[in-house]
Structures are given as structure tokens and as C-alpha cells.
Amino acid sequence: MPEVSLSKIITKAIAGEVISFPTDTVPALAVKPEFAQKIFTIKQRPATKPLILMAASIAELLPYLSGTEKEINLWQHTAQKYWPGAITLVLPASTRVPKPMNPQDPTTIGIRVPNCSIALDILRETGPLATTSANYSGEAPITKMSAIATAFPQVFVLAEKTIYLDTNPSGKPSTVVKWTDSSWIVLRQGRINFE
């Protein structure tokens, strides 16, 4: 697809199409969670690699989680410390999470609120989106929007001319941490050091 405007990206995402936009790490491929299978198909991504649910706020992500009140309070405290930012929290999933988000283990879901104004503006309009880096599985992330449009002709890509001046992706993936029983473990060390 050609690169498109901000308003068209939002319209297409709401309609269930796969879109691409910048984040604080690397550009994302994104789609409404119920259409997550589209990303696996487009990226030729194995089912062993789950997607991340990205939203504009922790409040929008809470319905996708399953935990005790104490656990949810702890997770929110952790999220408030690092978000918006390049930390992905892997937590127990509620039944609201569509199975294609994490085909191998639908009991967990990775969630994140990016520190990128244009991504947050899109997410405020679309609601939570299933996301992953813009690349074919096993290849390096594509960092230029025009190159994403060329590599993925079926994806609606945000036009570079519409991207805000303060958008400054790091090019490094998010740090991924998982909650296990009563503590966090680091699954992937990325841009942010998790303490």
C-alpha cells in the first residue's frame, strides 16, 4: 500500500486492516487484537512468537489481564514506573485476549504503552492493538516507513511526512519482563534496564 495520512491509518486500523507506525523502539506492524492472525501471515511469523498488546494507557490494558487485586496493584505500580516506555510486561491473560495473540501460550499476554507521541495519538483513537516489529520473521526490523511500504505492500503505512518531529525511535527492541508467581524475570534485555 502507499504511505497514507494519520487519519487514514486510524480509519484502516479500526476497520481491521494491518497498519504500520513508528514507536519509541522500532516501527510496528499493528492490527486490532481479534485480527492478530493477519500479522502472523504477513510476517511469516511462527506461532511460537507472541504479539504484544500496545495501548495508550494502562487502564485500557487491564481488562486483558487476570490476577488478584494485590497482583494487579503491583503490576500497575511497575507499569507506572516504566511507562510510557520501552518495557514490555508479560502477565497472566484474561479470556478477553484472542488466542492468535499468543497461539502457543494463550494464558499470558505481553503489554506495553510506548513513549512516542504519534503512536499514542494513534492508539488513543484505535484502542489497544496487537503489535510486533515491522520485518519478516528472522530478519532485522525495518526502520524507514518507506521501506516498510515496499516490503509489505498489503500494509497501510504512515507517511513519513506526517510523522511528528519529536518522534525519535531508538532502533532497539523493548526490554521484556515476565511475572512468575511473585517476582519478575527478564526474558529479553532491550533498551531499558529493568530493576
Any domain includes 194: no
Do the Cβ atoms of 102 and 50 come closer than 8 Å?
A: yes
144-162 average pLDDT score: 92
Any domain includes 43: yes
CB atoms within 10 A of CB 95: 9
What is the C-alpha to C-alpha distance for residues 50 and 55, in angstroms, rounded to an integer? 16
Say if pTM beats, i.e. exceeds, 0.85: yes
Mean pLDDT of the chain: 93
Q: How many CA atoms lie within 13 A of 45 on its CB side?
A: 25
Structural domain boundaries enclosing 158: 3-188
Any domain includes 195: no
Total tally of structural domains belonging to the chain:
1
The most confident of 110-119, 153-162, 184-193, by mean pLDDT = 110-119
Any domain includes 39: yes
149-168 average pLDDT score: 85
* Percent of the chain clearing pLDDT 70 (strictly above): 97
CATH number at residue 44: 3.90.870.10
Any domain includes 181: yes
Do the Cβ atoms of 183 and 91 come closer than 8 Å?
A: no
For 77, the grid coordinates are 505500580
- CB under 8 Å to 113, separation ≥6 — which residues? 54, 55, 56, 57, 58, 61, 79, 83, 84, 85, 120
* pLDDT tens per residue across span 87-103: 999 999 999 999 999 99
14-31 average pLDDT score: 96
Any domain includes 47: yes
Q: What are phi and psi of 130, to 5 degrees?
A: -75, 130
- Burial zone of 173 (CB within 10 Å; 0-12 exposed, 13-18 middle, 19+ buried): middle
Any domain includes 33: yes
Any domain includes 135: yes
Instruction: Provide the CA 10 distance to its chain's centre, in angstroms.
Output: 15
Return the pLDDT at 23: 94
Do the Cβ atoms of 194 and 175 come closer than 8 Å?
A: yes
What is the C-alpha to C-alpha distance for residues 48 and 38, in angstroms, rounded to an integer? 15
